[in-house]
Amino acid sequence: MNHIVPVTVGTRESLACDLLVVGCFEGEAPAALETAGLGEAWRAAAAQAAARPGWRGREEQVAETGVAPAGGTGGTGAALALHGLGRRQDLTWRKLAAWLERVADAAQVNGMARLAFLLPRHAETVGGAAAERVARALALADYRFDRFLSDPAARPPRIARVEILPPLREETAYAEALARSGPVAAAVTLARDLANAPANEATPSWLEARAEELARERGIGFTVLHEDELARRGMGGLLAVGAGSAYPPRLLRLEVGQEGPIVALVGKGVTFDSGGISIKPAAAMDEMKYDKCGACSVLALAQAVQELRLPVRLRAYVAVAENMLDSRAYRPGDIVRFANGKTVEITNTDAEGRLILADALTLASGEGAEILLEYSTLTGAVVAALGHYAAGLFTPDDALASSLLAAADETGERLWRLPLWPEYLEEMKGVHADLRNSASRWGGASTAAAFLSQFVGGATRWAHLDIAPVAYVSREQTHHPGATGYGIALTLAYLRRLAGV
């Protein structure tokens, strides 16, 4: 398990840390209300930093000063830094989260292990939802996938703890948020660790072993369908995609909870996607280890639901395969029969995710799912539509869409609804089979979702989340590339509302 930073609500009167970071708005820094209650040494340091020539509180502006150890506050080597957040009206959650990350990075570089954040009053820092976002971001502040580094000295020092000094009168909201954000951060960390693992380690059998280990340790029900059982059930999609790999495909099933609505979560677990015979270009093919991000989030969600004791009957279905090339690999022109009896003409072996999901969706809906949510890095088309800023949401259910979008807003995980018009399904009709697995390049995210709609059976409350834009970040996007664990926070927020807790 990767390191999760211990986060607490600090006490202003007896604050002891290596660095106190004070967030300040342009022209308002530091506000007397926010520094009220701090020890004399801290307040004196804040006033000294604010008096520096040129200090305005502009975005990314920093004024730092040492703190004299007096009256039990501060300590040898303690420091205070005013951080400009720019104009009050311009602050968004994205900007606030980026600020928290920058501060944590700088603190690690400078060996400051005990941090405290004094937060200004703002819509992004007030209330339970804001408190959970801040607490989760800080708990994950020093996440690094570094277990393959041979030199321990190359690993950055850990942050030992973080204290949050909330806006006055928000202490209770933050204390309650911390109780919920810990299991969420732990689930995000698990999903990231699984997704970041390289394909030469993270084979289908490896992912099965991790899921079985999770189930055993957490008391979660676990079953697995291997090749023989997949064939017996007619799951031709999973079998076709996995046929070219030395590692056979499988379908993992986890079950949590004995009461409440039956919620099925389905995740795409392509441990490496070469594109098959329709092979991908070499550029960025190393990132295709992230084609299992949907599956990793679903496994982590099972852990979080168990830890949070949410009153739902959760069933997680993880379709796992490696899409590779050899003499047994499936081909363009093949016709594949699926578990629900539908046939699909293969026009592109790189449109493999929808094939393994089709069989998993058929199983989930056939086992009585009342709500069916599916997560997959499914299309490049959704990235073309949304950039790397949001996941795409597809559902015929307006009420479900509204609930998921509200959960996304609450947790800061962006989600955008895209259309599922009948014309998209028409494009997916086959020539010699019921369907084809790939159509034209136009509207590719919606045609893929339309394809999946043919495998949800009688489920009416279903949604497909195409998380390709946000499931991971590349080295071109950030200096901390890797999997994000996207979808975990918003799904847990949705499930809490569904369960009324």
Q: What percentage of the chain has pLDDT greater than the value 70?
A: 97
Identify the DSSP state of 73: B
| 254 bridge partner residues | 222, 316
262: Cα separation from own chain's centroid: 22
Contacts of 150 (CB under 8 A, 6+ apart): none
Three-state SS for 198-262 is CCCCCCHHHHHHHHHHHHHHHCCEEEEECHHHHHHCCCHHHHHHHCCCCCCCEEEEEEECCCCCE
The conformational region for residue 276 under phi > 0 = left, psi -120 to 50 = alpha, else beta, is: left
At residue 408, what is the residue type? A
Pairwise CA distance, residues 127 & 173, whole Å: 6
Residue type, 311: P
SS3 326: coil
Spatial distance between the Cα atoms of 490 and 409, rounded to a whole number of angstroms: 8
Which residue in 58, 88, 218, 280 is the catalytic one? 280
Question: CA distances (Å), 163 to each of 35, 40, 174, in order?
Answer: 15, 19, 11
- 175: burial class by Cβ within 10 Å (0-12, 13-18, 19+)? middle
Distance CA 1, CA 183 (A): 13
Q: Where are the beta strands (DSSP E) in 109-219?
A: 114-118, 161-165
Comparing C-alpha atoms, which of 270, 129, 140 is closest to residue 202?
Answer: 270
- Residues in the chain with pLDDT values less than 70: 1-2, 29, 31-34, 68-77
DSSP 154: G
- Catalytic residue status for 280: yes
Distance of alpha carbon 501 from alpha carbon 310, whole angstroms: 8
| Backbone conformation region of residue 111, classed left if phi is above 0, alpha if psi is from -120 to 50, else beta | left
Identity at 355, one-letter amino acid code: L
CA angle in degrees (0–180, nearest 5) for 239-242-248? 95
- DSSP state at residue 88: G
The domain ranges of the chain are: 7-189, 197-499
pLDDT at position 192 is 98
Contacts of 288 (CB under 8 A, 6+ apart): 199, 270, 272, 273, 274, 280
- Predicted confidence at residue 90, as pLDDT, reads 97
Strands (E), 119-212: 161-165
What CATH number is given for 197-499 in this structure? 3.40.630.10
CA dist., res. 83 & res. 196, Å (int): 32
Ramachandran quadrant class, 58 (left: phi over 0; alpha: psi -120 to 50; beta: rest): beta
User: Which residues have CB under 8 Å from 80's CB, separation 6+?
Assistant: 19, 20, 21, 22, 42, 45, 46, 49, 64, 65, 66, 67
Whether residue 30 is preceded by a cis peptide bond, meaning omega within 30 degrees of 0, is yes
Residue 278 DSSP one-character state: S
Q: Could you give the angle at the alpha carbon of 292 between the alpha carbons of 1 and 498, nearest 5°?
A: 80
Give me the amino acid identity at 189: T
Measured CA angle at 343 (ends 339, 345), to 5 deg: 135
Predicted local distance difference test score (pLDDT) of residue 73:
45
- Half-sphere exposure of 312 toward its Cβ, with a 13 Å CA cutoff? 31
Distance, CA of 276 to CA of 487 (rounded, Å)? 28
Out of 1.10.10.10, 3.40.220.10, 3.40.50.720, 3.30.70.980, select the CATH number for domain 7-189: 3.40.220.10
The residue from 210, 253, 354, 461 that is catalytic is 354
Q: How many residues does the chain have?
A: 501
Is residue 237 a contact partner of residue 290, using CB atoms and an 8 Å limit?
A: no
SS3 442: coil
